[in-house]
């Protein structure tokens, strides 16, 4: 699937923005992270998944729905991994200010719809808050999508991982293997599932009672899940399904108007 580079926002000239971006357009902001993912994956995982998913979605439906891809925000709120040297972190306050500044900037184009495509689970709560803050500040209609909804926030995880493959686990590793096969080393991966939490009814990932955590609370290597069964073939299937689902959602984003 070839990407139409003309739908990369930054490739427009200043005068072209005024001619090609309008109230009927959708702006798509991919948001990733640069953070530790254990010894088997590079720190770029969330950035790559967000960026490549956005590329594919814009290629799939950009022309039909007038979707424009903003530059990927590669550094975000990764403070649950700040214990690991090299992880790049924006504070919650800084992240919110960055999002509001970007929203104010794009609102000057006359666009009405801004979609955040989030590749890092740790951003989820803040981004849901940002949807309303941006709406209040700029009037933009705001939306949040995920390539895969994080299991810690109600998304699915594998039965083998007891619903807790939340960071560097099978599915995330598989998708990255599909996108960057030369950058994965499964030979150093192990099962890292917090088995004891599975017996809880409420206080667990995806349970009714949330809890604060850092990624090294569960294991010193800082990944949570079982990547040992990941394959590039599985990753391609997950990636293709995500692109299809997100492209379908974009159709509803295009026409969304609060039920009026």
Distances in Å between the alpha carbon of 91 and those of 27, 71, 97, 175? 24, 20, 10, 27
Question: Which pLDDT score is estimated for 149?
Answer: 78
Q: What's the whole-model pTM score?
A: 0.94
Look at residue 218 and tell me whether its pLDDT is greater than 90: yes
pLDDT band at 1 (very low <50, low <70, confident <90, very high): very low
Give the domain ranges of the chain: 5-255
Look at residue 4 and tell me whether its pLDDT is greater than 50: no
219 phi and psi angles, rounded to 5 deg: -160, 140
User: Residue holding tokens 């899940």?
Assistant: 225
Question: Which pLDDT score is estimated for 253?
Answer: 98
Crossing angle of helices 45-65 and 170-179, rounded to 10°:
70
Question: Which pLDDT score is estimated for 2?
Answer: 42
Encode pLDDT of 26-81 as tens digits. 999 999 999 999 999 999 999 999 999 999 999 999 999 999 999 999 999 999 99
- Spatial CB neighbours of 158, under 8 Å, sequence gap ≥ 6: 165, 169, 170, 171, 226
Cα(160)–Cα(226) distance, rounded to whole angstroms? 8
Query: Which CATH fold topology does 5-255 show?
Result: Rossmann fold (3.40.50)
How many Cα atoms are found within 13 Å in the side-chain-facing hemisphere of 240? 8
């Amino acid at each position: 699937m070839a990407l139409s580079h003309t739908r990369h926002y930054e490739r427009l000239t200043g005068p072209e923005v005024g001619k090609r971006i309008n109230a009927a357009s959708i702006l798509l902001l991919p948001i990733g992270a640069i953070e530790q993912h254990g010894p088997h994956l590079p720190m770029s995982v969330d950035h790559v998944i967000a960026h490549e998913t956005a590329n594919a979605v814009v290629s799939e439906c950009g022309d039909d729905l007038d979707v424009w891809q903003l530059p990927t925000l590669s550094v975000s709120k990764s403070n649950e991994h700040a214990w690991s040297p090299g992880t790049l972190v924006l504070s919650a306050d800084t992240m919110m200010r960055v999002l509001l500044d970007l929203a104010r900037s794009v609102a000057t184009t006359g666009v009405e719809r801004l979609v955040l495509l989030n590749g890092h689970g740790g951003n989820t709560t803040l981004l849901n808050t940002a949807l309303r803050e941006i709406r209040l500040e700029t009037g933009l209609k705001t939306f949040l999508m995920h390539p895969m909804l994080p299991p810690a926030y109600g998304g699915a995880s594998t039965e083998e991982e007891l619903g807790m493959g939340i960071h560097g686990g099978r599915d995330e590793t598989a998708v990255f293997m599909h996108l960057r096969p030369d950058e994965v080393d499964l030979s150093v991966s192990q099962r890292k599932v917090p088995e004891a939490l599975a017996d809880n009814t409420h206080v667990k990932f995806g349970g009714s009672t949330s809890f604060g955590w850092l990624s090294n609370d569960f294991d010193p290597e800082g990944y949570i899940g079982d990547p040992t069964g990941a394959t590039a073939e599985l990753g391609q299937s997950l990636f293709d399904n995500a692109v299809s689902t997100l492209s379908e959602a974009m159709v509803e984003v295009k026409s969304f108007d609060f039920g009026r």
